[in-house]
Amino acid sequence: MHLLLISSLIIINNLIIFPKISLALNKEGAKFCNFPTPTSTEVRTKIIFVTNNTDFGYKRIIFNGERGTCNPKVERWEQAMIIGDGLTVSNLIMGESPIGTASDIIVEGGGALDGFQKIFVQSGPGKTIIKNFCSVNNAIGIVSCGNCSTQYTRDITIENSKFKGPMVEIISGNRQYNDKLTLRNIQIYGNNNPATKIKKVCTENLGSNAADPWKYSYEPGKAGTSDKFCKYPASAVKIIN
């Protein structure tokens, strides 16, 4: 999922993200996040433009865009949905594709299951606030774009959310662009099991040529002691089991 943020505000309530067949493969993960059953399924090949406040009623949209757009080895992504400034999208289940916007974002509720890449990417300026979210078996949670053609100082908040691995990292920000992070009441499950372990809570991106890319990288159960992005108390991230 890509969040292309510029200005204004968009609210997304109960956004569920999982691949086309993930419910058949990972019923345990779906149960952990209490994912709803889709009321209907629609396959789309073109971008969806949302121009009004929309409650999708737990409709599942599977986006089959340009060939190769979801290839994890190719950094070429196509947006499935573009949401107008100031609008609210509720009770939407997305298939294998990103969402694009032109605004600040609040994600309230929902979750993601079995993602081979990032759940969210903030590419523009502004804020991303993620609340009451649930993640199981996703490689990376949210990333502040490190190689966009135009860069900004970005502000990311995650609160009252739970994560279960396997997972590389929950959040990554850019040290050189002075990104800001707020973490509150993050719960980590399954971390005592190597099969569902989360390696890092927070990592600061130092650029593609960094000698030690993990220099500012912090594990679950420990405080983020950086003087920049990964700065939070150990109490902000709690290992449940």
Range of the domain at 218: 9-239
**Position 1 in a domain:** no
**Position 2 in a domain:** no
Mean pLDDT along residues 102-131: 86
**Position 134 in a domain:** yes
pLDDT one-digit tens code per residue, 43-76? 888 888 999 999 999 998 887 766 555 555 555 5
**What pLDDT was estimated at residue 73?**
55
- Counting the structural domains of the chain, the total is 1
pLDDT one-digit tens code per residue, 215-229? 999 999 999 999 999
Residue 101: pLDDT band by 50, 70, 90 thresholds?
low
Global pTM value: 0.81
Q: Is the pLDDT confidence value at 147 over 90?
A: no
**Position 94 in a domain:** yes
**Position 56 in a domain:** yes
Residues whose CB falls within 8 Å of the CB of residue 167, separated by 6 or more in sequence, listed in order: 135, 137, 138, 139, 140, 141, 197, 198, 199
**Position 167 in a domain:** yes
**Position 42 in a domain:** yes
**Position 3 in a domain:** no
Assign residue 52 the CATH number of its domain: 2.160.20.10
* Lowest-confidence pick of 8-22, 60-74, 176-190: 8-22
